[in-house]
Amino acid sequence: MYEKDVTLNKQTTIHLRPGETRDFEMLWTMLSTLSEDSLQFLHNRFIRDEIETGMTHIDYDNLLPIVAVVKDQATGKTRIAAFATLGFQRGESRKHRAEFDIIVHDSYQGKGLGTVLTQHMLDIAREKGLKKVYLKTNTGNQRAIHVYEKLGFKIEGKLIMEHYHYLTQQYGDDYRMAIIL
């Protein structure tokens, strides 16, 4: 259920599967080579030690990481093209929902991977019996908003001055978006 092969543009085969501890170096390579265009929409700075700790102690009941793995045609090496998470909530009043996050590496953006991976995470959420998936996105992140709305997410509200960005050194607004499954 959590594993799937998808073909982008009828040529690139991507394998979606749960992330594992052994993926840490590949994941770090992906995160540490994102462009500023991508980083402007990712509000937390990536710190190698923190990512390593997270990948060493994966608790799938708490946070499900899914990696999109691809064989790079130029180098023949396997790499992570995208990474998404579902953060499960605890407690009787919140356990019907999960928080979603996604990053597609620049070299794979605009090829349909973000759409496919988001849909895959929604399929997993449905399979797990969840009722709601939600996220926060920068109000200026038109591409992400387009993908989410295309798949059925709706804007629930605007959160003013919700984040401070270490790159721009500015405060910014987010939308909270959600889909009822």
Ligand X SMILES: CC(C)(COP(=O)(O)OP(=O)(O)OC[C@H]1O[C@@H](n2cnc3c(N)ncnc32)[C@H](O)[C@@H]1OP(=O)(O)O)[C@@H](O)C(=O)NCCC(=O)NCCS
User: Which residues, 4 to 43, sit near ligand X by CB under 6 A?
Assistant: 38, 41-42
Min CB(105)–ligand X separation in Å: 8
Angle at 148 between CA 138 and CA 131, to 5 degrees: 110
Please give the structure tokens belonging to residue 126: 């449905």
Nearest to ligand X of 21, 161 (CB atom): 161
Q: Which stretch binds ligand X (CB under 6 A): 47-55, 57-65, 146-154, 158-166?
A: 146-154
- DSSP H helices, the chain, are 24-31, 36-39, 48-56, 113-127, 142-150
Decide if residue 144 touches ligand X (CB under 6 A).
yes
User: Which residues, 121 to 140, sit near ligand X by CB under 6 A?
Assistant: 135, 137
Number of residues that bind ligand X (CB under 6 A): 22
Please give the structure tokens belonging to residue 93: 């009043």
Asked if residue 58 lies in contact with residue 19, where contact means CB atoms within 8 angstroms, the answer is yes
Identified binder of ligand X from the candidate list 141, 152, 159, 163, rule CB under 6 A: 141
Decide if residue 111 touches ligand X (CB under 6 A).
yes
- Integer Cα distance of 70 and 12 in angstroms: 8
CA dihedral 60, 28, 117, 105 (to 10 degrees): 170
Min CB(108)–ligand X separation in Å: 6
Rg (CA), the chain: 16
Identified binder of ligand X from the candidate list 46, 112, 139, 176, rule CB under 6 A: 112
User: Which residues, 39 to 78, sit near ligand X by CB under 6 A?
Assistant: 41-42
Min CB(75)–ligand X separation in Å: 21
- Integer Cα distance of 69 and 154 in angstroms: 29
Q: Binding residues for ligand X, per CB under 6 A?
A: 38, 41-42, 102-104, 109-115, 135, 137, 141-144, 146-147, 150
